[in-house]
Structure 1
Amino acid sequence: MDDFDPDLTARPEFQVIIQLLQSPEASPIEAVQRLLQAREDQQQSQKEPRARIDGNHAWFTMLSLVELATLTPAAEQTKLVGFVSQLQQTPVTDPTTGETPTAIDLNLWTDLPYLRVYLGDRFGFNYSTQNSPAEIQEWENRNAFMAQLTAAADHLGHAMDFSIYGLYTFEEAFEKDKPVEEAVRTACVWFIFAGKRLWENCRAGRVFGGEGDPPRRGFDLERWQLWKGGIGAARLAIGGGDSQELVAKASAEMEGAEGQ
């Protein structure tokens, strides 16, 4: 954790999430309760307006969550996904006002304020440059986290549904003239961890963006077949090692999703 600012690591939000990751006994339910207590402690001890305290609390919660998920391999993210799911099911009522506190006009915690904002800020990767193995791994970890949240969402459009970032990834991997291996790997991560939810998007013909906000983009069955063909082509074009393993798993997940 040496890469993090000491001011961040000292915050209670960071401490809640790092303990969840590092302690085998820690559970998502307990972590949520600790986070709720941290908010109460801040409200009682700080002199700033209550809304500002809640805004900072929500921001540092999501910043800590996403940055720690970025450093956590996909197979070890289960408790983080469980934490977000449990948090989203935990409405908060301010005992002083009797109202639901908000941050950026989103309710604590059912709307998961700042999670979508922060993930959006961190969604960007230049596939055309030479990236270090650590940078590639962190990018794949972050996409795995978004994909697992998306799979765990109760329904399309849920606060944990980040399907649109899967769509961006597939466009980069399979709809460019010369897709690169790193882009295909990231697309595979999405199919492996959220294949059924992505298939649901395609069957629903889900479209993002309003009529006055072009270009509109979306999921459909034709694109699913295009992406499936891209996965098939990748099986022939990509060499051995874990890239070939990712492609094989993604292909199997797509086949399995179609059978649902």
Structure 2
Amino acid sequence: MSTPLLQIDQVRKQFGGVAALNGVSLTIAPGHVHGLIGPNGAGKTTFFNVMTGLYTADSGRFMLDGQPYAPTAVHKVAQAGIARTFQNIRLFNSMTVLENVMVGRHVRTRNGVWAALSRHRRAREEERETEAMARHLLDYVGIGQWADSRADALSYGHQRRLEIARALATEPRLLALDEPAAGMNATEKQQLRGLLEKIRDDGRTVLLIEHDVKLVMGVCDRISVLDYGTLIAEGTPQDVRRHPAVIKAYLGGAAHV
């Protein structure tokens, strides 16, 4: 078997008397879409926040591509190869669509502030390369024709795609998406599924938090289920769909989707 891309063992996070994460372990294989589901308050976003350095775990072990990994600062997490989006859209609305993606590239640029301010030749070349990559990513996610529009002029679904393009600009090994289908209509969700499949088929790994059961079951290779900060089930979509604890805690009538 290949080395897991991300392996997290016995992660705990306590807020006062509440155990938001109660010894959660997760193994994500490279080149897969891995779903993380559960009812509201299950600890899914807390897990993302710990994994990406927004929160500090109380305990636990992190391995990225077989090497110890310490998610202690957001920019270091991005440099290590983990990019994420958030439940609520976070774009620079007064900037263009293209500029939003170029911003995401800064963790991979080589020239510093002074080189950029002085318009040094290497800085100009790097800026051209960054712009070309950003335009390519916008085409990749299907919104290239709006590259020069303001970000807040995009439709809601296209803003979600823009966030994914910006995350991809960091060249992540793991793309962590927190409810990317929230607020989308049925057509937009179907298009999102196609994009996620394309990202996976191009060799990237995706960790997906999502409440749309049909989307999760259709696109994920493997699913982990949290409930009250505890991992209650893990397996293929077929395994998870039939798991009694999952049906009781989360799926309910959606268990047969």
What's the TM-score once normalised by structure 2's chain length? 0.29
What's the TM-score once normalised by structure 1's chain length? 0.29
Question: Which structure has more RCO (C-alpha within 8 Å, separation ≥ 6)?
Answer: 2
